[in-house]
Structure formats: structure tokens, C-alpha cells
Structure 1
Amino acid sequence: MSSVLQKLITPLAGSPAEPPRNKVTVVGVGQVGMACAISILLRQEGESRLNLVQRNVNVFKAIVPQIVKYSPDCTIIVVSNPVDVLTYVTWKLSGLPKHRVIGSGTNLDSARFRYLMAERLGIHASSFNGWVLGEHGDTSVPVWSGANVAGVNLQSLNPDIGTEGDEEQWTATHKAVVER
């Protein structure tokens, strides 16, 4: 039985490119640079997004009122985990209208999903279309019925894609999205 990749394209190159290495470079040691570096060093591996709630809520209680005090006409974009919970907390703490407090939601999950799916298919990420819905992280849901390459629906090539019966185990790709 042919795989989705075999049905979709014939690889043109011999071996896949070397996977990216996890490396972060912070240029600048001002307040923003140092804050980024410290944040990177303090992320606890294996800690769930929900375990971050109380710690981050305490930080938000200190900074959100100050943001609104000095920038009353601002729009706040929340990217801290767990993003959905903290977006709600930010909205409540800020007193701003709901359209001025925005959470990144599953935008990051969708971007990771597109990248990892494309990598597994051996194509550029911009050639793969797919989305992840729901809450950011562990409870997010990939939309397998909408996953496609150049309009070719992957579910039409593998009706079991994303299910327990999928012999190619495409759900591992979504699992990798959540673990990153």
C-alpha cells in the first residue's frame, strides 16, 4: 500500500535535509534582550501549560494594570502560556473591551502543524495547508479533513489519516506540535 507521500509526489532529491537544531540567539543585552534570555533559561521542561497559570497570573496582575495606566488606548496581544486562560485574565484585569485583548490561540499550533506536516512530506511549508483548532496546546485538534497540498486533500489519499487506524501514524505529527 502506498503512503500519502508516495501518492502525492515523487521525491526529487536523494535524502531529506538535515533537521533544524534547537538554538536561540539573543542579540542585545538591554532590558528586552535580557528578559528574553532569562525567560528561555527558566522554562521548565515537561511542565504543562496549565501548571503555568498561577505563576503567570501573578505576573500579569502586576503588569497589566501598568500597561493600561500608561497606554490606555492600547491593544494587548497575549502570547504567554496557557494563552487562552491568560488572554481571559488579561481582559478581566485590563478592563479593556474584548476586541482589544487578543490571544495568539492556535495560530502557533497551526504554523507548527503546517511546518511538521510539510517536513514529513518533503515539501516547503507554504505548500501545505492545514489548521489546528481549539485551545492552544494539549487539547488542540488538527483538522485532518482540511489538510491538503496544492488542493489535494490528504484524507482522499488516506481515508484513515489522523485516526487510530492510520497505518502511517500521522497523529504523531500533531503530538509533536503539542510537545514543542
Structure 2
Amino acid sequence: MTIKCTNKVALIGTGFVGSSYAFALLNQGIAHELVLIDMNKDKADGDARDLSHGLAFASPMKIHAGDYSDCQDADLVVITAGANQKPGETRLDLVEKNIKIFKGIVDEVMASGFNGIFLVATNPVDILTYATWKFSGLPKERVIGSGTILDTARLRYLVGEHFDIDTRNIHAYIMGEHGDTEFPVWSHTTIGASHLSELIDMENEDIQNKLDEIFLNVRDAAYHIIERKGATYYGIAMGLARITRAIFNNENSILTVSSLLQGEYGQDDVYIGVPAIINREGVRKVVELPLNEKERQQFEHSSGTLKKVMENAFS
């Protein structure tokens, strides 16, 4: 008798990000089944074999290469395929070529009878998550982008490093586009139970300069890594694994992901990085933080930038 696996992930794209995500799933025991789909079938098969050889050291998981038909009974389809960001390119430079790629991918997935949740990581992630939602016809709750989950993790790491406090005790958010117009929400940054403003003088020029420096290192982190090693993949793979765990475990965790706004933060019809409650159904709810005036302006600017790109891309 064959027992149907649950918590099945279909991963589309076995490049640096995809294979790192698969490795994170295996190490953390998040999924019960993982199917690897790639235009390069040999690469997908090789990864499946390589990962399977580590099962003696991990939790049970069925790992195999497959094709789009395997998406039919998947709980989660994760897309990491697409053209990569090159040195000197912004994430928004990738729009045109990746939208064409995504149309083909999403059409194939939906033709399989898929009715689960999409998780998109390919850049520009906000635009491509919107495209996935449009192409798939699925409810907005079930189409999620990795958004600013990695930027938020980078911010927490650097703030923790500055104050010499465990990253996991830093609570802070990067919101907006996963890209050059993102911004830090200092008004909601806490260390343990203490608000940042209780620990430092936020009006002090030297301290403000240090906070600006921390944010710039967050915003430009990908550029620095791409210059040094050609691509970023470990951090985002861990972020995707975190979102996957929140979905499969029905956690109702608050994560900064790319979600469709329909009136929240005064914005409409745009996917953008915001804190959202994630559970087995996908996005349960967008969390609306009360932003200060500067942050509201930054959010409007970031949303406007994405909307201009979308108008050109979908016109």
C-alpha cells in the first residue's frame, strides 16, 4: 500500500538558490517530499541523487527529479528559476526577460491541476509575484513572494552585531520593494523588550549616521556579494525555508513577505514587502504597522516605483 506524502514541495529551478533551498529543506526536515524541476533535467536528477545520499543523516524525505505534471498534488510550488542579476544590474533590470519566462512556467504548473500555494523568489520578486498571481488566477493569499524577508534578516544581523546582541533578539523590519527603494522601519525596532529609542538617542547626529550606515549595508548587501562571488543564495534559501516551515506548520508567524495590498497602507494592486501573518492557507493577513511620516513617504515612493515598472511590463 502506498501512503500519500504530505507537505510536498515542487521546486522549479535548481540553480544556486534552488539547490541551496533544497539543501536547507533536507537539513531542517521541513518537507516530506521534494520534486526538482529544471530545464536541465540532468542537473535536477544529479541534485536529487546527491541530496538523497544525505538522507542517512537527516529526516525521512522523498527526493526526486520530475516535471510540471508533478505539481498537480504539490502543496507548495517554489519558483527560483529565471535570469540572474549580473554585476551592475538592478533587480528591476530583469523585469522583461523574467516575465516571459514566468508566463511559461506558471501556465505549465496550472495545466497540471495545481491548487496549492506559490512561493516566488526570482527577482524582481515583487513584480514576478504579481505576474504569478495574474497568470495563475489563484487567490492572492496563495501567491507569496520572498519580499524583504532576507533584507529584514540582514538588518537584524547588523543591528545585533552593532549592539552585541543575539540576532534572534532583534525585532526589526525592512519594508517596500526588495530593491533600491526599500527602507528600515526604525519606529518599530526593538531589542528584546526595549524599543530602540529607549536605548539610544535617535536624534543624535552621530547615531543617526550609524543607523544610516547599517541600512545602506543592508540595502546594498546583494551588490557587495555579487561583486565578490557572482550571486547570493545561502541567505535567501534560508529565508525560503523559513516561509515554507511557517506554511507547513500552520505557524501564524509574522514574516516580511511580498503580499498583494488591497487598501492596506493606502496602496492598491501592488505586491510589496510588508509584515504578514503566514500559515497553512498562505497569507492570513497583512499586518499594518503605524508608520511615521518619513516611513509613510518612503513606502509611497517604493510602491510608486513598483507600479511604474508594472505599468510598462503589463501594458
Q: TM-score, normalised by structure 1?
A: 0.71
Q: Are 2:102 and 1:85 equivalent residues in the alignment?
A: no
* Higher relative contact order, structure no. (Cα contacts within 8 Å, ≥ 6 residues apart): 2
Match of 1:174 in 2: 215
Q: Are 2:152 and 1:152 equivalent residues in the alignment?
A: no
Alpha carbons of structure 1 residues 154 and 67: separation in structure 2 relative to 1, 3 Å = same
- Identity, in percent, stands at 39
Structure 1 window deviating more from structure 2 (85-94 vs 41-50): it is 41-50
Structure 2 residue ranges without an equivalent (≥5): 1-16, 24-41, 49-80, 222-315
Cα pair 1:78 1:102 within 8 Å, conserved? yes
Match of 1:76 in 2: 118
Amino acid at match of 1:68: M
> Quick check: which one's strand share is greater?
2
Q: Secondary structure at the match of 2:92?
A: helix
Structure 1 residue ranges without an equivalent (≥5): 1-23
Q: Are 2:148 and 1:106 equivalent residues in the alignment?
A: yes
1:33-72 mapped onto 2 (5 Å cutoff): 33=47, 43-72=85-114
Query: Over aligned residue pairs, what C-alpha RMSD do you find?
Result: 3.2
Cα-to-partner distance string for 1:41-98 (whole Å, 9 max, x where unaligned): 9541231111011121121011110011114212111111111111111111112222
Amino acid at match of 2:104: A
Cα-to-partner distance string for 1:8-48 (whole Å, 9 max, x where unaligned): xxxxxxxxxxxxxxxx9967x731749xxxx8x95412311
Q: TM-score, normalised by structure 2?
A: 0.43
Alpha carbons of structure 1 residues 73 and 136: separation in structure 2 relative to 1, 3 Å = same
Q: Secondary structure at the match of 1:159?
A: coil
**Offset of residue 165 of structure 1:** 6.3
Cα pair 1:68 1:74 within 8 Å, conserved? no
